[in-house]
């Protein structure tokens, strides 16, 4: 078979179905956990240093500026994008909900399984699927891949640099009667690592992926790489903390009464400042240290990403590999008087996404609303696999023409009855307790003024338009149970799913 020129290969990739498995493009699928729009190409915080993401975008990639997650925490977001079905369809709303307990997932192939079914070698290391306890220990989605490798390395915590709200520790010093300590709460902490960069988990995952990219393959590959930082706790090598001078760290803009105009059906405030926020707000030193720790962890993740991208560029596969780089949801750093995720405010729903297909040689940006849920049908589309009925919509045409008409809106679901829906200019949210939000994103990008009671004709039109896109029904939350056995009692989940003849 004659070698295509780069331009011809790009044309084939974008416009023609690829029907022969060996001629299909490879897929490099990279997740960065809890990454928000502070990454350089998205412009959320110019102080945050992500040179490898910047380079990836500038050398030729599509940056999705209005991309969102289907669910604003790891489990439902990843379950949705990997299954192709939204939380309101599956009932997978929380981290405790195992996607294998969904009837849809039990009968339909997940993204890597579908690619394997159609001739792809599938391999993975790091966090791609959300982890759950199972009968065989921890289920990390290893059943979905031909070759799954446990992440190596570790972190080690330099206790002299530790900040921990849960334990009441500031810069290694245990505080007397700490106001916001919570020994039973989830950890909100950061510190430098005792292990050098080369012995940390994400670095070792990146090096594994780099090695796989140098191999010759007799069929196309789907390589999934999960980078765990900047997920909490923010443990990163000291060199990445040293990239930021604590004194010059700028804090996010915060409005002290930001939550007062979001009220439930009885007129009572639906939200209050979180304990993490109140702890950080008590002292600007703590607030700045938290912001620096998130940026340090993001820069560390970017460094590990660079190892994988450099390996791809040096490999024989560069000209025939599609690259997706994505975060599973956004992250609050004080906005809306909270830290973390798990809200349907924009800081938690907006999920970074960059895509490179062979032939791209300059950055382009898409402002149409998209969703991580759209990645599954888009990859099926780009790789010429048989079309599959899914909740998402392919955005392949936006890679050809970023100004093309895309989806009109995108949705994020927090649970039955709580949904945020947005287009380019407006965001409307409705909650189970009767609270509603409406924001004019052009005039109020920080979403400080809730227009839900506005008499403005434009606000009324926006609410009416967006409300039409709310789900007509919500699946009941999944009951946590054991994955139903397809074969005999000694079969692994992967063996059972191989026998299930998934659609």
Pairwise CA distance, residues 230 & 209, whole Å: 19
Torsion angle, CA of 353/69/35/27, rounded to 10 degrees?
-40
State yes or no: is 130 an active-site residue: yes
CB-facing half-sphere around the CA of 141: CA atoms within 13 A = 27
- 372 token code pair: 């991580």
Element (H, E) at 208: helix 201-213
What percent of the residues of the chain are helix, what percent strand, and what percent coil, each to the nearest 5? Answer: 35, 20, 50
Pairwise CA distance, residues 124 & 128, whole Å: 8
Torsion angle, CA of 357/60/371/225, rounded to 10 degrees?
70
Return the residue matching tokens 């962890």: 297
Task: Give the 3-state secondary structure of residue 379.
Answer: helix
Interacting residues of 78 by C-beta distance below 8 A, sequence separation 6+: 31, 128, 129, 130, 328
* Omega before 230 within 30 of 0, i.e. cis: yes
CB neighbours of residue 209 within 10 Å: 28
Task: Give the 3-state secondary structure of residue 161.
Answer: helix
Pairwise CA distance, residues 32 & 12, whole Å: 30
**Catalytic residue of the set 68, 108, 130, 329:** 130
Residues forming a β-bridge with 263: 269
Pairwise CA distance, residues 355 & 307, whole Å: 17
Pairwise CA distance, residues 268 & 495, whole Å: 52
Pairwise CA distance, residues 41 & 53, whole Å: 7
Pairwise CA distance, residues 93 & 142, whole Å: 22
**Catalytic residue of the set 48, 68, 69, 74:** 74
State yes or no: is 69 an active-site residue: no
Residue 251 and residue 287 in contact, taking contact as beta carbons nearer than 8 Å: yes
Q: DSSP for 269-337? A: BS----HHHHHHHT-HHHHHHHHHHHHHHHHHHHHHHHHHHHHHHTSTTGGGEEEEEEESS--EESGGG
**Which of 26, 28, 30 shows the shortest CA–CA distance to 305?**
30
What residues are annotated to the active site? 74, 130
């Amino acid at each position: 078979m004659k070698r295509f020129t780069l331009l011809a290969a790009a044309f084939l990739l974008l416009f023609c179905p690829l029907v022969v498995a060996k001629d299909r493009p490879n897929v490099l699928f990279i997740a960065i956990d809890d990454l928000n729009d502070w990454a350089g190409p998205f412009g959320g915080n110019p102080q945050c240093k992500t040179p490898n993401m910047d380079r990836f975008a500038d050398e030729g990639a599509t940056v999705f500026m209005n991309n969102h997650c289907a669910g604003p925490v790891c489990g439902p977001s990843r379950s949705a994008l990997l299954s192709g079905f939204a939380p309101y369809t599956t009932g997978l709303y929380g981290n405790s909900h195992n996607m294998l307990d969904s009837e849809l997932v039990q009968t339909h192939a997940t993204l890597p399984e579908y690619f394997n079914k159609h001739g792809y070698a599938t391999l993975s290391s790091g966090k791609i699927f959300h982890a759950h306890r199972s009968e065989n220990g921890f289920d990390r989605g290893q059943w979905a891949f031909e070759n799954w490798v446990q992440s190596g390395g570790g972190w080690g915590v330099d206790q002299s640099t530790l900040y921990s709200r849960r334990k009441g520790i500031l810069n290694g010093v245990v505080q007397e009667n700490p106001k916001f300590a919570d020994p039973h709460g989830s950890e909100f902490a950061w510190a430098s690592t005792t292990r050098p960069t080369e012995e940390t988990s994400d670095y070792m995952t990146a090096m594994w992926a780099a090695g796989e990219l140098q191999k010759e393959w007799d069929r196309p590959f789907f390589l999934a790489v999960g980078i765990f930082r900047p997920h909490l706790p923010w443990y990163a090598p000291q060199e990445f903390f040293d990239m930021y001078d604590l004194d010059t760290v700028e804090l996010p803009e915060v409005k002290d009464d930001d939550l007062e105009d979001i009220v439930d059906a009885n007129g009572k405030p639906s939200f209050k400042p979180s304990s993490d926020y109140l702890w950080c707000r008590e002292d600007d030193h703590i607030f700045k240290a938290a912001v620096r720790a998130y940026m340090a962890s993001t820069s560390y993740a970017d460094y590990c990403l660079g190892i994988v991208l450099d390996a791809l560029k040096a490999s024989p596969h560069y000209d025939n590999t599609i690259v997706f780089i994505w975060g599973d949801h956004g992250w609050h750093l004080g906005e809306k008087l909270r830290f973390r995720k798990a809200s349907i405010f924009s800081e938690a729903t907006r999920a970074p996404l960059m895509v490179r297909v062979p032939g791209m040689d300059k950055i382009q940006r898409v402002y149409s609303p998209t969703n991580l849920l759209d990645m599954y049908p888009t990859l099926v589309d780009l790789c010429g696999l048989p079309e599959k009925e899914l909740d998402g919509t392919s955005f392949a045409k936006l890679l050809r023409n970023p100004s093309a008409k895309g989806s009109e809106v995108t949705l994020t679901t927090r649970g039955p009855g709580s949904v945020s829906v947005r287009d380019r200019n407006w965001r409307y949210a409705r909650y189970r307790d009767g609270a509603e939000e409406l924001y004019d994103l052009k005039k109020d990008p920080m979403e400080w003024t809730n227009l839900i009671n506005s008499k403005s004709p434009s606000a009324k039109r926006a609410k009416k338009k967006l409300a039409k896109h709310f789900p007509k029904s919500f699946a009941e939350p999944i009951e946590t149970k054991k994955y139903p056995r397809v074969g005999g009692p000694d079969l692994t989940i992967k063996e059972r799913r191989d026998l299930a003849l998934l659609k």
